[in-house]
Amino acid sequence: MKTKTLLWPLAALLISLAGQSLPAQVPQMINCQGRVAVGTTNFNSPPNGLFKFALVNAAGTTTYWSNDGTSVNGSQPTAAVALTVRAESNADLTGLTALIARLGPGNQPTGANVEVGQVEGSDGTGWAPDPDSPGFAGKTFTMVSPNPVSSVHATGVGQYFYGNTTSISPGITGIDCYEVVHWAYEGFLSVSGTAPPGLVTLDVFNNSWIGSGPSSNMVLRKSDYAVNAQGLIFCNGVNNGIGPLDYPLLSHMFNGIAVGRNTGQHHAGDTGLGMDGPGRMKPDIVAPGNYTSQSTPLVAGAAALMIQTARTHPSLINDPNAQRPEVIRAVLMAGAEHRTGWTNNAVAIGPARGTTTQPLDALYGADELNVNHAHWILTGGEQLPATAPAQAVYAPHAGWALVDIPSGASRWWRFHVGSTKPYVSILAVWHRRVADDFASYTITGADLELWRIDPVNGPTTLVGALGLPYFAGGNVQSTSPDDNVEHLYLSGLQPGDYLLELRRAADGLPSWDVAVAWELACQTFPGCVCEAIPATPAATGASASASNQITVHWDDSPSAATARYFVSRATGAGGPYSRIATIDDASPGVAGSGTYLYHDTTVSGGTTYFYVIDADDGASCTSAHSNEVSALATGTCFRLPTFAGLASVTTRPARCALTLSWAAGSSNCGSIVTYSVYRSTSAGFVPSDRANRIVNGLLTTTYSDTGVSAGITYYYVVRAIDAASGGSDGNSVEHGAVPSSLCSVAPDVQ
């Protein structure tokens, strides 16, 4: 592999131009994105600031160009031009500021405890970030490659990746640093030969370099293999400038994230002929930066924020799928801000309206990184799909799934839309699988399609004229023949019920993991706050319809936005209520269309139960409780007794015994209560009738345990047993004590 170019050419450009007379080479447009200050104060003067510009030599003594042509020998021009200046940092431009505002300062992810790798090409003098650079306080650098001489490029990339002031992920503290050639060979990839890449304890690799050579396909295969084998995320810059993709490394990865600039000043298009999988669209996403060497580490930092969120957020902490590379990539791309002018060339008129074979924008990919929306999608949690449309349950308007889908199969999610959605963003991603000998690879194909649920006819296509009343523009079907990404992006989705279908190609390959992420945006963000509360339904009665069964009746909600009903129950008038059932609305989008009933078969004979019904829109809006209805259940009583558990364990000073005491329990079936005592020498033990019960059938509220020895702590749990139902209250209240020193040898238990 031969490293061709770094992605931060500013220093080299200035050096190459120094001392030349270039009046004929003044560019037609100069892009500048950076800090504007007066002295040390950031300038922000809405709506405009007045500026004068001159292009001069390094000494400031020769003028090549000025905004009004009056500058001479480096002097200030006479006239000024008015320009808008916005005080926007990387945090503002990537959605981090909005995320902090939504979560509260100090509650946002920072990349803490996420381990990263930085791969750098040599600039001729060095390749490593400077550990002593401002902004790197508290960072630990491990120089994996030999001869770690600092470079301006690597230090700058580090500032955007994990710097304390410039990056969006300042909580990253552990950085492994590699020189690219060493990384590609003995340092990690092992590109020559059939050995797999080395094992690392990293989460994210940033690659702000480009390259090509005869080993390019092998570099890409081993990189994709490492993603699958080790759960790594690769963020890879494309080349700066304008034109088609020209360097395959590493932007041509199937399993990585290719990054461009939000200004569009980068190479873009289809992956090249002669490479694995030609015709795939790159970049995947864009981010702020004067060079892609700055944009790429911002995306890598965003990946670190999502990984930390996956590991710490209450809705995700027990779900290992949340930090899978496919999921992180899908979430970042689905959450990207699709700016004015973004297009995936969806057909706008005719029978194919709403379809596309091009999932992404040809220049901007999924468009501009937005960590606020990505975080919203990720924390929506994993939503399991159905195998058939009729089985699909309502999913929240922001969420994701990692689907193991067989060849030729479909998976389904259902959404209820209560008010017009300004936009809907849904994206699917899957990886290629590289053979263990790296000689070949396999990859499946998949499509995405959004369907409308007609109240009479069921799932109905939105393609063509049938979709005109239901969405304003964009695509409801994505069927790329080349990409391992599919993307639906549409505007003006109207109220109603919809089905999302993930449809896998019938290619005979084994089951495949596909990550799907979505956001059905609300009128204001954070999305999916309640926009229209459904009207309260009317409960019409409850009756004991069979032994140990009560049937509850209610009328259809007068609100067309109702998608489902919640049935809740209490054993006392006025609650508190516990939800016991969810019943789908039989006529979504139609108000007051019928009656409903629910058979509660979990009731205990002799108990009166109280019920309320709530109407829900399937997303986030739930009505107030209905009126309360009640009924007395018949049949067998199987309610558990009421019991507070063991109150104390005390030592008998003059005896070798421990005394247990508790308050009396009560039967809920009109019977008597007996007590069982459980003992262990381990705190937190699980009571078991066979393993550690020492007595049962007690009628008293005290017990003296004489089967104890000195110097040992004994732990006890007491449970109440209802004589009629045989049920135990199941409490785990535990107390312990050490018996008197009078004990020496444990006598028999009494």
Query: What are the residue boundaries of the structural domains of the chain, listed by start?
Result: 110-269+277-312, 382-520, 539-632, 646-737
pLDDT at 558: 83
605: CB partners within 8 A, 6+ apart: 547, 548, 633, 634, 635, 636, 637, 638
What strands lie across the sheet with 398-405, from one edge to the other? 398-405, 512-520, 421-430, 485-493, 473-474
290: CB partners within 8 A, 6+ apart: 10, 31, 32, 33, 34, 261
The mean pLDDT of 209-219, rounded to a whole number, is 93
Angle at 363 between CA 206 and CA 297, to 5 degrees: 15
Cα 10 → chain centroid: 35
What residues form DSSP beta bridges with 584? 564
pLDDT tens sequence across 693-707: 999 999 999 999 999
The pLDDT of residue 39 is above 70: no
Place of tokens 């088609």: 244
Question: Hey, how many other C-beta atoms are within 10 angstroms of the C-beta on 243?
Answer: 10
Report field, pTM of the whole predicted structure over 0.75: no
The mean pLDDT of 298-323, rounded to a whole number, is 96
Residue 302's identity, in one-letter code, is A
The mean pLDDT of 194-204, rounded to a whole number, is 96
DSSP 211-277: EE-TTHHHHHHHHHHHHHHH--EEEEEPPBSSBS----BTTT-SSSEEEEETT--BB-EEPPTTSSS
Q: Which residue has the higher pLDDT, 423 or 87?
A: 423
What residues form DSSP beta bridges with 240? 266
The pLDDT of residue 10 is above 50: no
* CATH superfamily ID and name for 110-269+277-312: Peptidase S8/S53 domain (3.40.50.200)
pLDDT tens sequence across 362-391: 999 999 999 999 999 999 999 999 999 989
Q: Which residue has the higher pLDDT, 13 or 278?
A: 278
Helices (H) and strands (E) in the chain, counts: 9, 44
**Lowest mean per-residue pLDDT among 11-20, 238-247, 495-504:** 11-20
Instruction: Give the burial class of 379: count Cβ atoms within 10 A of its Cβ; 0-12 exposed, 13-18 middle, 19 or more buried.
Output: buried
**CATH class of segment(s) 382-520:** mainly beta
The mean pLDDT of 470-480, rounded to a whole number, is 97
Return the DSSP state at 541. Answer: E
Highest mean pLDDT among 48-62, 330-344, 728-742: 330-344
3-state helix/strand/coil string of 566-588: EEEEECCCCCCCEEEEEEECCCC
Q: Could you tell me the pLDDT band of residue 561, with boundaries at 50, 70 and 90?
A: confident
683 vs 734: CA distance, rounded Å: 8
Q: Which residue has the higher pLDDT, 637 or 526?
A: 637
**CATH 2.60.40.10 describes domain 539-632:** yes
Q: Could you tell me the pLDDT band of residue 750, with boundaries at 50, 70 and 90?
A: very low
CATH no. of 646-737:
2.60.40.10
pLDDT at 374: 97
Mean pLDDT value across the chain: 89
DSSP 143-205: E-SSS--B-HHHHHHHHHHH-TTTSS-TT--EEEEEEHHHIIIIITT--SSSPPPPP---SEE
The mean pLDDT of 406-425, rounded to a whole number, is 92
pLDDT at 350: 96
pLDDT tens sequence across 215-224: 999 999 999 9
Percent above pLDDT 70 for the chain: 89
Q: Is 382-520 the same fold as 110-269+277-312?
A: no
